[in-house]
Amino acid sequence: MKKNLYNVTMLKALSLIAVSIYHLLSHRLSGGFLGVIIFMIISGFFLERASVKSSSEVDIRVYLKKIKARILKIMSPIWTIVAISLLFALVFSREIFDDSIQSSLSTIFAVENIRAIVKGISYFDRSGNFNLFTHLWYISVYIQVVIIYYLIDYLINKFDLGGKRLGIFASLTLISTMISYYLSFTKAPIIRIYYGTDTRISAFFIGVCANILYRENKNKIKGIDHKKLARILLIPIVLPFFFINGKSLWIYRTFFLAYELIVALFLVLIYDLEIKNHIAYRKQRPFYKFMIWLGDRSYYYYLWQYIIQVFFTYFLRTRIENRILFYGLELIVLVLISEISYQFLMSNKKFRSKKLIGSLVLIIMLNIVSFAIGNKKQEEMDKFKQNFSQNEAEIKKRNEDAKKIKSKASSGKNTSKEKENLNFKEKAYDDFNFTDKELSFLKGISITAVGDSVLMNVDSYLRDYVPNLYLDGEVGRDMPEGPERLLAIKNDIGLNDIILVGLGSNGSANDSDMEAIMDIADGRDVYFVNTSHLESYMDQVNKNIKAFTDSHDKAHLVDWRSFVKDRDDLLAVDRVHPNVEGSTDYAELILRKILNVNKIES
């Protein structure tokens, strides 16, 4: 792409900003991942633009040379960045290294999207995953599409099908869209649709079709107010950044196609405007100059932004409470490293082959090192998952046993009576030295709990103190599912004295959902446990839970986050679930809160 195509360069900058903010603050810009679609359409448009010069070429060697040149251009910086990032991770963070090394080879050989599908790795749920190269699935798809495109281009020229070029690419676009549509109605996971080359090729080929149509009809584009129409189209391009959710199946049916068509039309408009009314850089507005500057080096910023986010999140997320300072420092580091990479890798093209060989050797050596020392995190996570699976089966049995428990204290009268103690002195929230009287009280109460995998993980530790515990948990469950599950329990077996809610680790904690839980609880005390992890939405979720519990007499906050934020030793390697010691503390934190709320004297 020529550097003087400033309008398109600014569109690339917009895409970069959207994707970067999504990676950083997915709860604020849930549809920011759509920026990748814009990148794809731009890529397809300019792939086709570059192929016009060889429209009559039928020598396969020419196409192989094109593929090689394109791959070298795209993959050269990736190999270098992957090698440097892995080496840094090995030295400073074994957990990041263990997660990232698994995708290193598939990333540099452009099959990471396929590996992600096979392994079932979600792009939308990255909690506890410190893989530095998660975002590079797009580059893998891009390289695969480049190969497919040049193969089709070669066959079109070889069999003299130039007149059917638009029809061929339009048909392939439609087929790709139909595959996506079909998969969205099957049991195929969303990641199969999201990562699939067959489903993603539609965006690239819509870009190709847009270029063909423009090339054939550019002289007919007259009497159009390009700027006005472009501003109108920009609205449906940007607005979905704020509300589209990648986990929703409906967007893979009709929305993606509609969005791609709008972006393609917008691209044609700004491209035509640039060709017919080019404005020199020096005459551009200051903001436009910034966007041009950013768009010009957007590829390097894209490669680095997620890598730097992972390192910052891992090392500094719990150490820098001021979010403005945290994100400001991250931005400074991103600019410095991206600029160094841009200047070094762009200005030393003659050493590209040597850098590739050197990077490949280093990456292979690091994989050998990983094989020799073992993947510590993977081993620990496998053990954790095994224990979790066993615990999941035991929870069902324990729940059946809990149904049979007949306790005089289960009516709720014991708690209301204790609350009348006006001279009660509350103990510290982390005082776990329970007295005999406190233990006796806990043995006599009954709890209905609704939670996610974090709460499921502490079931046995809670049940040691409160035998009459009924826990309904599910991996990946979020707060919006809480009311439905609690109501189902209420209708099925009835609710116990106390309601415990451990939800929010998977993305949200809305007042409406928590209010619904309170309504279903029918005046019972409801204890909400807040969350602790490294995802960007944690602070907002915890803020919402605190505000809600502060404004409701019967809603109580169990502050797990304050207790564990400086205690990584209490967490499993994913930094989300508590380990054995942490699970004990998690359970006892809940119990201390219950004792304090019920004013149990020691």
Res 335 pLDDT > 80: yes
Judge whether 354 and 77 are in contact, CB under 8 Å.
no
pLDDT tens by residue, 193-224: 999 999 999 999 999 999 999 999 998 888 88
Q: What is the pLDDT, as a whole number, of residue 325?
A: 95
Res 419 pLDDT > 80: no
Res 415 pLDDT > 80: no
Q: What is the pLDDT, as a whole number, of residue 408?
A: 42
Share of the chain above pLDDT 70, in %: 94
Report which secondary-structure segment, H or E, holds 367. helix 352-373
How, if at all, do strands 468-473 and 446-451 pair?
Answer: parallel
Mean pLDDT value across residues 156-172: 95
User: What distance in Å separates the CA atoms of residue 287 and residue 292, rounded to the nearest whole number?
Assistant: 9
pLDDT tens by residue, 435-489: 999 999 999 999 999 999 899 989 989 999 999 999 998 888 999 999 999 999 9
Q: What is the pLDDT, as a whole number, of residue 491?
A: 92
Judge whether 594 and 442 are in contact, CB under 8 Å.
yes
Q: Please state, rounded to an integer, the average pLDDT across all residues of the chain.
A: 90
How far is the first Cα of the chain from the last one, in angstroms, to the nearest whole number?
Answer: 75
User: What distance in Å separates the CA atoms of residue 218 and residue 224, rounded to the nearest whole number?
Assistant: 12
Nearest to 34 by CA among 196, 252, 186: 252
Q: Model confidence at 518, in pLDDT bands (50, 70, 90)?
A: very high
Res 46 pLDDT > 70: yes
Q: Model confidence at 417, in pLDDT bands (50, 70, 90)?
A: very low
pLDDT tens by residue, 259-299: 999 999 999 999 999 999 888 989 999 999 999 999 999 99
Q: What is the pLDDT, as a whole number, of residue 535?
A: 84
- Who's near 525: CB < 8 A, 6+ residues apart? 415, 498, 499, 554, 556, 594, 597, 598
Q: What is the pLDDT, as a whole number, of residue 414?
A: 46
Mean pLDDT value across residues 16-36: 94
